[in-house]
């Protein structure tokens, strides 16, 4: 079964908006993965920003996920800091360590750069919408080239 690593933006939004693309990911036949860092960050924000029923929903969603230990090695985090802002470097390193096929994020500003994609290869960076609806076209829009071309490049 294919694996998709969810970052904090996707897990938080899946808790907050049950009808959006992030929540729909939980209905697909893929193994959703996240890290202890993402869980810590999301749970902190669910408790501080949302209501008690959201916390209940958060626990239900996390039960469906595979959790990778967030013991990212320092060297990998340092490398990640060179291609992405510091706040997202730990997530990028965790996603790399998870060996998931996809990193799903809603953070368009920092994750959707050729540098971050190159760092993470062979993992593809996608939004929930891309992974649900129009994956090849969407990928092309974000990075300026198609998936098949990307796969050739990384070989």
Partner 1 sequence: MQLQPSQFIPITEARTRISELTKSVEGDTYVVLTKGGKPKAALVDIAYLQRLQNDLSKLYKKTYIDPVLLPITRQFSDSEIQEWEKEDQL
Name the residues that contact partner 1, by CB under 8 A: 8-10, 12-13, 16-17, 19-22, 24, 36-37, 39-41, 43-45, 48-49, 52, 55-56, 59, 62, 67, 70, 87, 90, 106-108, 127-129, 132-133
Nearer to partner 1, 37 or 150 (CB): 37
Nearer to partner 1, 123 or 127 (CB): 127
C-alpha to C-alpha distance for 74 and 124, rounded to whole angstroms: 23
**In whole angstroms, how close is the CB of 115 to partner 1 at the nearest point?**
21
The H or E element containing residue 10 is helix 8-16
**In whole angstroms, how close is the CB of 145 to partner 1 at the nearest point?**
22
For every residue of 87-127, which 3-state class applies, written as one string?
HHHHHHHHHHHHCCCEEECCCHHHHCCHHHHHHHCCCEEEC
Nearer to partner 1, 52 or 74 (CB): 52
Joined together, the tokens standing for residue 19 give 């009808």
Nearer to partner 1, 13 or 113 (CB): 13
Bridge partners (DSSP) of residue 78 are none
**In whole angstroms, how close is the CB of 93 to partner 1 at the nearest point?**
13
**In whole angstroms, how close is the CB of 82 to partner 1 at the nearest point?**
18
- Cα–Cα nearest to 113, from 148, 137, 155, 82: 82
């Amino acid at each position: 079964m294919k694996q998709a690593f969810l970052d904090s933006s996707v897990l938080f939004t899946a808790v907050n908006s049950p009808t959006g693309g992030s929540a729909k990911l939980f209905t697909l036949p893929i193994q959703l993965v996240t890290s202890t860092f993402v869980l810590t960050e999301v749970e902190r924000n669910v408790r501080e920003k949302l209501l008690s029923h959201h916390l209940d929903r958060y626990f239900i969603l996390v039960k469906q996920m595979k959790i990778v230990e967030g013991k990212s090695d320092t060297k990998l985090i340092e490398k990640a800091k060179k291609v992405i802002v510091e706040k997202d470097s730990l997530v990028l390193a965790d996603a790399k360590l998870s060996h998931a096929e996809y990193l799903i994020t809603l953070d368009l500003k920092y994750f959707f750069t050729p540098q971050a994609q190159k760092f993470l290869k062979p993992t593809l960076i996608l939004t929930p919408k891309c992974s649900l609806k129009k994956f090849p076209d969407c990928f092309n829009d974000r990075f300026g080239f198609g998936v098949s071309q990307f796969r050739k490049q990384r070989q």
